[in-house]
Structure 1
Amino acid sequence: MATVLKTEQRFPKITEEGLEDLRKRIGVKIENTVEPWNYEATRDGIRHYAHGIGDDNPLWCDPDYAAKTKYGSIVALPSFLFSTSRIVSGYCGGLPGVHAMWAGANWSWHKPVLRNDVIRTEAYLKDLVEHQTRFAGRAFQQIYHVDFYNQNGDHVAECDSYVFRTDRDEARERGTKYESVKGGTDRISQEQLEEWFDLYRNEEIRGSTPRFWEDVSEGDALPRMMKGPMTVTGFIGYAQGWGGLYIRTNKLHFQLIDAHPGLGIPNHFGIRDVPERVHWDDAFAREVGTPGAYDYGPERCSWLTHHITNWIGDDGFLTKSDCQIRRHNPDGDVIFIDGKVSRKFEEGGKKFVEIEQRAETHRGEMSAIGTAVAELPSKG
């Protein structure tokens, strides 16, 4: 007779009562949202976010350069808006103590965000969808909608973003997604790294040279973009620009854990610390079923939009980006982002291209997929 192994329960589990409570919140505007990292698109805030994803485009980072563009000032990169809302970045309600993994977003941008714009947001829980996963068995996709407005009341952007709620114990004990890489260390030779670093050396920022719609053909490939190798230093670098969800110190850390006891998970000193430490605490990351400390989901979504903004140049405008995160990228991974033009079209007198994107690890594993739509200038 086969022996059934019982999962050791260390963490709170998904319950029917918790799910019912969540379903009651669908469509209800969220009041008193957690304070964002950035209220304003300041010069420093924009630059810090851009540098957090490895983007040195002078349109975001150089006031003298930006002053000569059609905008007349520094512009916030599209993904900067992640820093203006905790909700869009993965701060979720319900199911206290149950793991939440940010897994994707469908963005639409209506107007550029300029230096010193003040951003206000409105949010609500849009849906709760059950899935069966290799990572943790039964999981729930928790989808939020967030609208972004500037100080003039202009609707600058909107986004549906989502997290997956998973049982940590199930993922650790029975999850099969990372069986082949758990506990492994994949060393990369210096010769291989030097070859890959040519992608950094030759990375093209289109900048002030217009990419005209008429000069683009369906099937055109975008230059490959590299991100990594992943390091904990890099994950912290992103958190510096983005703000993190639960990164607090001293009294503010105490107030967070005191108000939300389910967030506090004891570390090896027995001190309650936040679940966000999966991004820098390798041992804890393995406790929740992942291969090790890993990158942030909004970070990877921002890499995909970086890939597009490099290519469209200053006179292009990214209007949509749909990104799906497909696996964790732990410390040591290298990511390659490729894309191609899948469609050219006109709408409302404007010229657009649609671009399919795919991000893979250096082992050929799918890391993320995306679809972007951008408006391009016309020779006409």
Structure 2
Amino acid sequence: MTTTDTPSDAGIGKELAAGKFTDQMLTEMRNLIGTELRTDACVNNEYATRLAILRFAEGIGDDNPLWTNEAYATAGPYGAIIAPPSFIFACLGSVQVGWRGLGGFHAETDISFHAPIRVGDKITARVWFDGFDDPVESSFGGRRIKDYLRQEYWNQDEQLVARFICSRMRFERGEMQKRRSTRAIEIPHPWTAQQLTQIEEDILAEIPRGAEPRYWEDVQVGDDLNVITKGPIGLTDEIAFVASGAAPIPRLSAHAVALRRYRKHPKWAFRDPHTHALEPVYSVHYNDYAAKLQGAQMAYDVGIQRTCWQIHSITNWMGNTGRLKAIHGQYRSHVYLSDVVRLGGAVTGKEIDADGDAVVRLETWAINQREQNCMPGTATVVLPRRSGS
């Protein structure tokens, strides 16, 4: 083959697939509501081994010794290492359904947590397509819909570990690309050396509460969570997240394995005009060219990655004896490579809930350097009570 020859890509081009909403598509998708989806190609970790948990914790930048230090964890409330609640994503990050040729952004996350994941647990994920909202017009990217996938994670004792409702915004890529200039911002962000020094000091200042209990009685409405800092987000941060097992859908693969998949599913890939390599749609998270085809400015973070960061901030605050019961977050804007995100929150309420748990209600936020709250949300945390309370 000469350098001017074009390989036979069997439907794979230099653009991402550009589908349109049609009545036929909507009818086909309505007929799929209630379908349980296949997950075999998306499972990354079946067992919560010590190394799998360590790799995931490092991939989200969370060095809480409860997840990573065997001696420390053995002396803790669980008697062994447990995984951060977000480890469910390292078992199966997500699955997508249908919507041929349409683009998608993760829009919203709702998770309820029911049991901790311990070293040695076998986690099985099941996923159902729960439906979608009717198409509506938006200034962001033309017509769009919001769909809903329900993901459940069960352990070897048939105990529900977590239930995750994943909502995605679906849109016509051509319309999103047309509006890209209206969302233009200065990126990469022009950080000064002084600002970078301060950011790094802020990152290193984060300390998990650890073994010191945070008692329910001592928490007051209006209390602030300690802020944690992520960034400037770089390519290695995205690679570390992939290597942790938390993405993608389906699993990334290379060479003949990848090529066979792309030949079978041409819309999963595109040919990068700079490297001439075939790349998956998922590469929007580390490939600027792909991100621009999606209507973004450059490569950007993963939705569930941002939720992992928020869970990191909450588990740091609640300490080893606290328990995250639920979390909700909306993804309001991209977090681009070079961005910095500071995550925190405040206590908005406390009560003994219907399950008899002493809970605190949190309002959470994730603020970037442009003063945008790129992930407003809420969370519910169970805290221990003082003896005799």
Question: TM-score, normalising length from structure 1?
Answer: 0.92
- Say if 1:133 and 1:239 are closer, same or farther in 2 by CA, change over 3 A: farther
How many residue pairs are counted as aligned between the two chains? 367
| CA distance 1:10–1:51, change in 2 (3 Å) | closer
Distance 1:240 1:325 in 2: 23
Structure 2 counterpart of 1:237, from 232, 240, 248: 240
Partner of 1:103: 107
- Structure 2 counterpart of 1:215, one-letter code: D
CA contact (8 A) 2:83 2:118 kept: yes
One-letter identity of the residue aligned with 1:379? R
Which residue number corresponds to residue 52 of structure 2? 45
Tell me the equivalent position of 1:374. 381
Q: Which of 50, 70, 80 is the matching residue for 2:87? A: 80
**1:178 and 2:161 correspond:** no
Identity %: 29
Show the counterpart of 1:59.
66
SS at match of 2:120: coil
Q: Give the match for residue 168 of structure 2.
A: 163
Work out whether 1:120 is the aligned partner of 2:124.
yes
Structure-2 residue corresponding to 1:313: 319
Correspondence for 2:3 = none
Match of 1:205 among 203, 208, 215: 208
In 1, Cα distance between equivalents of 2:225 and 2:313: 8
CA contact (8 A) 1:131 1:141 kept: no
Instruction: Say yes or no: does 1:27 pair with 2:34.
Output: yes
TM-score by length of 2: 0.90
Question: Structure 2, unaligned stretches of length 5 or more?
Answer: 1-14
Identify if the C-alpha distance between structure 1 residues 114 and 238 changes in structure 2 by more than 3 Å, giving closer, same or farther: same
Equivalence for 1:250: 255
Which of the numbers 155, 173, 195 marks the counterpart of 1:192? 195
Residue 176 of structure 1 and its aligned partner are, at CA, apart by 6.0
Query: How far off its partner does 1:197 sit?
Result: 2.3
Q: Structure 1 residue 55: deviation in Å? A: 0.2
Q: Is the 8 A contact 1:134 1:175 kept in 2?
A: no
Amino acid at match of 1:293: A
Q: Would the aligned equivalents of 2:92 and 2:247 in 1 still touch at CA under 8 Å?
A: no
Q: Hey, what's the Cα distance between the residues in 1 that align with 2:278 and 2:25?
A: 23
Q: Secondary structure at the match of 2:129?
A: strand
* Partner Cα separation in structure 1 for residue 373 and residue 171 of structure 2: 21
Q: Secondary structure at the match of 2:374?
A: strand
Q: Which residue of 1 aligns with 2:367?
A: 360
Question: Which residue, out of 259, 268, 274, partners 2:264?
Answer: 259
For 2:255 and 2:188, the matched residues in 1 are separated by: 34
User: Is the CA contact 1:135–1:176 (under 8 Å) kept in the aligned structure 2?
Assistant: no
What corresponds to 1:15 in structure 2?
Answer: 21
Give the drift of 1:244.
2.3
Deviation at 1:230, TM superposition (A): 1.1
Q: Is the 8 A contact 2:68 2:81 kept in 1?
A: yes
Deviation at 1:303, TM superposition (A): 0.6
> Which has the larger displacement, 250-259 or 59-68?
250-259
Q: Distance in 2 between matches of 1:73 and 1:343?
A: 32
> Partners of 2:128 and 2:306 in 1: how far apart?
24
Q: Name the residue aligned to 1:4.
A: none
Instruction: Report the Cα distance in structure 2 between the residues aligned to 1:365 and 1:328, rounded to whole angstroms.
Output: 10
C-alpha separation in 2, matches of 1:120 and 1:10: 32
Q: Offset at 1:174? A: 2.5
Moved more, 18-27 or 203-212: 18-27
User: Residues 83 and 19 (structure 1 numbering): CA distance in 2 closer, same or farther, change over 3 Å?
Assistant: farther
Instruction: Kindly provide the amino acid, as one letter, of the partner of residue 198 in structure 1.
Output: E
Match of 1:5 in 2: none
- What amino acid does structure 1 have at the position aligned with 2:330? Q
User: Runs of 5+ in structure 1 lacking a partner?
Assistant: 1-8
Asked if the contact 1:137–1:171 (Cα under 8 Å) also holds between the matched residues in 2, the reply is yes
What pairs with 1:333-344 in structure 2 (closer than 5 Å)? 333-344=339-350
CA contact (8 A) 2:16 2:269 kept: no
- Match of 2:197, SS state, is helix
